Amino acid sequence: MGNCLGSTSSDRNTSHVYSSTNIPTTPGTSNNCSNNTESSVTSSVSNCRSQFSQTVSEIVDVENTDGRILEAPNLKVFTFAEMKTATKNFNTLLGEGGFGKVYKGWLDEKTLAPSKVGSGMIVAIKKLKQESVQGLSEWQSEVNFLGRIYHRNLVKLLGYCWEEKELLLVYEFMQKGSLENHLFRRNPAVEPMSWETRLKIVLGAARGLAFLHFSEKVIYRDFKASNILLDGNYNAKISDFGLAKLGPSGGQSHVTTRVMGTYGYAAPEYIATGHLYVKSDVYGFGVLLLEMMTGLRALDTKRSDGQQNLVDWLKPTLSQKRKSKSLMDARIEGQYSSKAASLTAELTLKCLEHDPKNRPSMQEVVDALERIESLNKERSKDNSKSGSVHSSTTPRYGQKSSSHRSAGKAK
Domain boundaries defined on the chain: 2-172, 177-386
pLDDT at position 251, please?
A: 75
Residue 155 or 13, more confident? 155
**Helix spans in 101-222 (H):** 133-146, 179-183, 195-212
What's the average model confidence in pLDDT over 184-195? 90
pLDDT at position 24, please?
A: 56
Q: Of the given ranges (35-44, 121-130, 351-360, 383-392), which has the lowest mean pLDDT?
A: 35-44
- CA-based nearest residue to 86, from 125, 136, 35, 144: 125
pLDDT at position 158, please?
A: 96
pLDDT reading at 141 higher than 90: no
339 assigned ligand-binding residue: no
Dihedral, CA of residue 249, residue 227, residue 337 and residue 382, to nearest 10: -100
pLDDT reading at 371 higher than 90: yes
Work out the number of other CB atoms within 10 angstroms of the CB of residue 384: 10
CATH superfamily of 2-172: Phosphorylase Kinase; domain 1 (3.30.200.20)
What's phi and psi for 139, nearest 5 deg?
Answer: -60, -45
pLDDT reading at 132 higher than 50: yes
What's the average model confidence in pLDDT over 177-198? 93
pLDDT band at 50 (very low <50, low <70, confident <90, very high): very low
Residue 343 · residue 370 · CB < 8 Å? no
In the three-class reduction of DSSP (H, G, I as helix; E, B as strand; rest coil), residue 66 is classed as coil
pLDDT at position 134, please?
A: 67
Rg (CA), the chain: 22
Greatest Cα pair distance, the chain, in angstroms, is 72
| 2-172 and 177-386 in the same fold | no
Q: Which residues are catalytic?
A: 222
pLDDT band at 100 (very low <50, low <70, confident <90, very high): confident
pLDDT reading at 230 higher than 60: yes
pLDDT at position 40, please?
A: 38
pLDDT at position 47, please?
A: 47
Contacts of 409 (CB under 8 A, 6+ apart): 304, 307, 397, 398
Q: Alpha carbon 392 to chain centroid distance?
A: 32
Could you tell me the pTM of the whole model?
0.80
185 residue type, one letter: R
Give the DSSP letter string of 271-283: HHH-EE-TTHHHH
395 residue type, one letter: P
Residue-averaged pLDDT of the chain: 81
What's the average model confidence in pLDDT over 99-113? 93
194 residue type, one letter: S
CATH class entry, domain 177-386: mainly alpha
**pLDDT tens digits along 377-411:** 888 776 766 665 444 444 455 443 333 333 433 33
pLDDT band at 357 (very low <50, low <70, confident <90, very high): very high
pLDDT reading at 65 higher than 70: no
| Highest averaged pLDDT of the listed ranges 99-103, 162-166, 248-252, 300-304 | 300-304
Residue 202 · residue 289 · CB < 8 Å? yes
Contacts of 352 (CB under 8 A, 6+ apart): 283, 286, 287, 290, 311, 315, 318, 359
Angstrom CA distances, 90 to 81, 109, 125, 126, 170, stand at: 11, 20, 9, 10, 13
Q: What share of the chain is helix, strand, coil (3-state, %, to 5)?
A: 40, 15, 45
pLDDT reading at 128 higher than 50: yes
pLDDT at position 384, please?
A: 66
Residue 225 and residue 217: Cα distance in Å, rounded?
23
Residue 29 and residue 47: Cα distance in Å, rounded?
22
**pLDDT tens digits along 310-337:** 999 999 999 998 899 999 999 999 999 9
**pLDDT tens digits along 23-42:** 555 554 433 333 333 343 34
Helix axes 280-294, 195-212, angle to 10 degrees: 170
Residue 393 and residue 399: Cα distance in Å, rounded?
11
- Residue 314, Ramachandran bin (φ over 0: left; ψ between -120 and 50: alpha; else beta): alpha
The proportion of the chain whose per-residue pLDDT surpasses 90, expressed as a percent, equals 57
Residue 18 or 63, more confident? 63
